[in-house]
Structure 1
Amino acid sequence: MRAAIPRYQQIARQLGDKLRLGTLTEGDKLPSVRSLSQELGVSINTVQLAYYCLEAEGLVEARPQSGYYARTLLERMKHVPRRSAPQVMAPPTSPSDQDQESVLLRLMHQQRQPGWLPFSLSVPAPSLLPVAKLAKALQQAQRDLPHGGIEYDLIAGNAALRRQIARYALFWGSRLTDDEIITTEGCTAALTLCLKTVVQPGDTVAVESPVYFGILQTIVSLGLKVLELPTDALTGVDLDVLEGHLRAGRVQACLLVPNFSNPLGCCMPNTHKQRLVQLMETYQVPLIEDDLYGDLHFAPERPLPCKAFDRQGWVLWCGSVSKTLAPGYRVGWVAPGRYYATLLQVKRYQAGFSPGITQQAVATFLANDRYELHLRRLRQRLKSNCQRYQQTIRTYFPSGTRISEPQGGFTLWVEVDARVNTLELADLLAPYKISIMPGRLFSLQPQYSNCMRLSYGLPFDERVAKGLQTIGELIHQQLAL
């Protein structure tokens, strides 16, 4: 039987939760030791011990002759010792295959159930998206399109949307025109079209590791082999290793997420992106660039995509508003460079026309600069969420836990003690209606079993804090067995 938690620790935990959740505003003065002891019916010494605990955690500071004050979030982050970021991932280099469909189906079913806390769901919560404004844009789209948008649009996609994508790409120095862009039904559809265009069944595609399981499923479903590359949690794939495979002729295409990859959240430096493009040009291998998260940067400026360094058309630049604006609208695009004509033909034969009504609505939203205003607010919320999630994980997860330090996107990669199996942990969390995405699913190799991806797309509140605390407590219990 577990020993009862001392009263001062209970008080410290209650106050700490209020501080982390913002119920007690940062910088505000806390109740005096005497008044809190009277309010709670405990001794002054008990309250003093509780405040000592909070001070040790960096949540409050004592000011002489004044009392205790809540620290600002920035001060807390500086005070709490940082866990190391996950180490460089070095998977086996031989292509392989493994079916994980049943596990994914179960987890994806859970995260959509009412009442669940879906840390596994890698999209921003609806409360962070401009639902009402999008509804108005959709109504405007019906008025603007002939016959209310019920007719087929162009195979290349909605003209207004392609113009807006080209215009918006000017922010990162793009020289693309609307005639170089093809719209798709989301980013996965764009990636699929790219793969069908540039490689044949049996070819090998190089990816990051760990990598989003949807990318793995897409590649394998097309009869292709996967080559997982060692990936640094801050700077992305190891280009020296990639070059070795390119030199040996083992790779027929690369599919990479240079900006805030899912799940690591790493962002390749510009020098790495430039070298990557040069490698593609030297070995004449296409790079399918998934730039799905590029607009979700925490720094003042948007990171450049690899497409910004492409002069010979080897980069097929893919994007979408599924992670920033409207997941359900399924609006994406690709600028396929030298592969434009072939990819357009593949789309005509295998995908057909894209829905014009939702594309026109997104174009309307982009045209009046609402998108940039929305993005600024969304980035601020996600950055705050990221810091609060990290702080809570550091508080409740075991010592030695490694947490990624993303500079954008909305996923955290968490590495716990090697004795913990996060597939088993996911099952243990099911009775609590909490879903996580086990790290094992982000590779076709037997690795990352003690890792998990947690999305901070859910606004940080008391329920989220309790959910993270529950995950931490179950990990502690697993380690105690």
Structure 2
Amino acid sequence: MRKYELLAAQLASQIEKGVWLPGEKLPSLRKQAEQSGYSLMTVLHAYQMLESQGVLAARERSGYSVSASVSVPQGRSRAIQPTEAVSVNDFVFEVLQASRNIHTLSLGFAYPDPALFPRQQLNKAVASAAKQISLMAALDNLPPGNEALRQLIAKRYAARGVDISPDEIVITAGALEALSLSLQAATRPGDWVVIEAPAFYGAMQTLERLGLKAVSVEVDPEHGLDLASLERAFQAYDVKACWLMSNFQNPIGYSLSNDKKLQLAQLLANYQVVLIEDDVYGELYEGDVPPVPVKQFDCSDNVMLCSSFSKSLVAGFRLGWVAAGSRALDVQKRQLMSTLATSTPIQLSLVEYLSTKNYEKHLKTLRKTLAARKKAMHQFLSQLLKGIATIHCHSGGYFLWLEFDSHVDTTSLYREALDMNITVAPGKLFTLNDAFSHCLRINASFQLTESSKALLQKFFQQVREHVNRSALS
């Protein structure tokens, strides 16, 4: 058998096993030659042979893709999902508006119970900072942001074993601005970006706003991000960036092991893809050992680490940051052209607060409270949903991921919950298709009272009836 026939047989076998899916673009001739060790001419002959057999399809200026007519092995179709036109805003807006009602039981809320934040201490910090604001304070706190605040953030990372210079940190108006500016620094409109499936809806909204194309890579509730599928996405598409959560992923709650984080960092280096790392839940771990971000394993300046105080201290301050490495100056320029700068009083207030030991004391209490409340909610829901749902509960964070049978429509459950003054987050909120329409995200940070238990018992009895009706239809 000739060399090109051997390569063609190898590729055909990979396609048959679902390594390459219908419509996926194969590596370019040059990249395939580098990976396989064959010559460019050998690779070309192999691709042309598979094209003549109907296995591959050639597109002008786009290379070769797996033919759409190739059958997909069962269970592989969801691993990678390309989407050229991202559109999620309408439904996200509807769900977030519903969560604003103060009279609801807000299990669809994205933030921890506001009652867990140290309001009095923060108010004192704001008052103290207000007295110190000078005429030059606005200039002193322009991008990259307050120097003392950036040093305090860098020291917090150092305490976790992560070496980040204050000079690479840019203070932003919340984590979402940090993530958005980072994505703009790494991409141009029309580029392919990898997001998770299911994903934080803010990632999909940002891609839609920036005119970017999404490649969704599956996150399994028990095993996390599928790194093999991620590499296939890198090979099949000209991916410029990824937007991923390595710690306490929203909505599933799973955290990658250090081994997987290292593998991920190596993949990024091999394919020269930028990671926009969303680490807003990183402080909300259980136990004594804090998780490290993928940034810790980055040796190629490919990771832009984003976080904020919104989930660990107070949501209303809207202050975040990005450790952007060599792209820090680019991020600063983009911020100056958009929001100009982050609120000066808020930056000074956080310098005041973080300079005390109050934050560490608050975090220790918060972590214990969240862990206890999540355990209580998990036990409670396990009884209510026995036999009709799988509840995925991971260490850290405050989300539970509920998975019903595939025939269950959780968007209908979400609307039934609203009628009872309960909000939940339906799976449709976290996907570009219908892959997770049978799932719910539950915020377990709120205390279970007798009244909330009674309300939830009534609602989930309706859920059980809904599930039974769906099974019969």
Q: Work out which of the residue numbers 221, 226, 229 in structure 2 matches 1:233.
A: 221
AA matched with 2:197: S
Q: Work out which of the residue numbers 196, 217, 241 in structure 1 matches 2:184.
A: 196
Structure 1 equivalent of residue 467 of structure 2: 479
Matched ranges for 1:51-130 at <5 A: 90-97=78-85, 99-130=87-118
1:421 aligns with 2:384: no
Structure 1 equivalent of residue 325 of structure 2: 337
Deviations 1:89-109 (A, max 9, x none): 935522244534333323222
Aligned length: 395
Deviations 1:418-476 (A, max 9, x none): 33211111111222111111101110022111111111121222233233323311111
AA matched with 1:298: E
Secondary structure of 2:441's counterpart equals strand
1:162 aligns with 2:150: yes
Secondary structure of 2:82's counterpart equals coil
1:453 and 1:302 mapped to 2: Cα distance?
24
Q: Work out which of the residue numbers 390, 393, 406 in structure 1 matches 2:394.
A: 406
Matched ranges for 1:194-273 at <5 A: 194-273=182-261
Check whether the contact 1:88–1:233 (CA below 8 A) recurs between aligned residues.
Answer: no
Structure 1 equivalent of residue 314 of structure 2: 326
Check whether the contact 2:248–2:254 (CA below 8 A) recurs between aligned residues.
Answer: yes
Check whether the contact 1:298–1:407 (CA below 8 A) recurs between aligned residues.
Answer: yes
1:252 and 1:239 mapped to 2: Cα distance?
17
Check whether the contact 1:98–1:444 (CA below 8 A) recurs between aligned residues.
Answer: yes
CA-based RMSD of the aligned residues comes to: 1.9
Secondary structure of 1:146's counterpart equals coil
AA matched with 2:438: N
* TM-score, with length taken from structure 1: 0.79
Structure 1 equivalent of residue 122 of structure 2: 134
Question: CA 1:88/1:146 → structure 2, altered by over 3 Å: closer, same or farther?
Answer: farther
* TM-score, with length taken from structure 2: 0.80
Q: Work out which of the residue numbers 372, 376, 394 in structure 2 matches 1:388.
A: 376
Q: Which runs of 5+ in 1 are unaligned?
A: 1-86
Check whether the contact 1:152–1:353 (CA below 8 A) recurs between aligned residues.
Answer: no
Structure 2 equivalent of residue 452 of structure 1: 440
Check whether the contact 2:192–2:212 (CA below 8 A) recurs between aligned residues.
Answer: yes
Q: Give the drift of 1:372.
A: 1.2
Deviations 1:326-345 (A, max 9, x none): 10100100011121222222
Deviations 1:284-306 (A, max 9, x none): 11111011001000132111101
Matched ranges for 1:426-441 at <5 A: 426-441=414-429
Check whether the contact 2:220–2:226 (CA below 8 A) recurs between aligned residues.
Answer: yes
Q: Give the drift of 1:247.
A: 2.9
1:250 and 1:465 mapped to 2: Cα distance?
49
Question: CA 1:405/1:330 → structure 2, altered by over 3 Å: closer, same or farther?
Answer: same
2:165 and 2:413 mapped to 1: Cα distance?
48
Q: Work out which of the residue numbers 461, 468, 473 in structure 1 matches 2:449.
A: 461
Matched ranges for 1:343-358 at <5 A: 343-358=331-346
Deviations 1:268-318 (A, max 9, x none): 000111111111111111111011001000132111101111222111010
Q: Give the drift of 1:376.
A: 0.7
Q: Work out which of the residue numbers 279, 288, 297 in structure 1 matches 2:276.
A: 288
Q: Which runs of 5+ in 2 are unaligned?
A: 1-74
Check whether the contact 2:80–2:233 (CA below 8 A) recurs between aligned residues.
Answer: no
Secondary structure of 1:141's counterpart equals helix
Question: CA 1:151/1:250 → structure 2, altered by over 3 Å: closer, same or farther?
Answer: closer
1:276 aligns with 2:264: yes
Structure 1 equivalent of residue 364 of structure 2: 376
AA matched with 1:259: N
Deviations 1:404-431 (A, max 9, x none): 1221111111012333211111111222
Q: Give the drift of 1:152.
A: 6.6
Q: Give the drift of 1:88.
A: 11
Check whether the contact 1:420–1:475 (CA below 8 A) recurs between aligned residues.
Answer: no
Structure 2 equivalent of residue 23 of structure 1: none
Check whether the contact 2:319–2:346 (CA below 8 A) recurs between aligned residues.
Answer: yes
Check whether the contact 1:398–1:472 (CA below 8 A) recurs between aligned residues.
Answer: no
Question: CA 1:246/1:102 → structure 2, altered by over 3 Å: closer, same or farther?
Answer: closer
1:462 and 1:451 mapped to 2: Cα distance?
26
Check whether the contact 1:123–1:327 (CA below 8 A) recurs between aligned residues.
Answer: yes
Deviates more, 1:161-170 or 1:98-107: 98-107
Check whether the contact 1:257–1:290 (CA below 8 A) recurs between aligned residues.
Answer: yes
Check whether the contact 1:423–1:449 (CA below 8 A) recurs between aligned residues.
Answer: yes
2:88 and 2:234 mapped to 1: Cα distance?
29
Check whether the contact 1:161–1:359 (CA below 8 A) recurs between aligned residues.
Answer: yes
Check whether the contact 2:193–2:213 (CA below 8 A) recurs between aligned residues.
Answer: yes
Check whether the contact 2:86–2:207 (CA below 8 A) recurs between aligned residues.
Answer: no
Question: CA 1:467/1:100 → structure 2, altered by over 3 Å: closer, same or farther?
Answer: farther
1:325 and 1:90 mapped to 2: Cα distance?
36
Deviates more, 1:173-182 or 1:138-147: 138-147
Q: Give the drift of 1:374.
A: 0.6
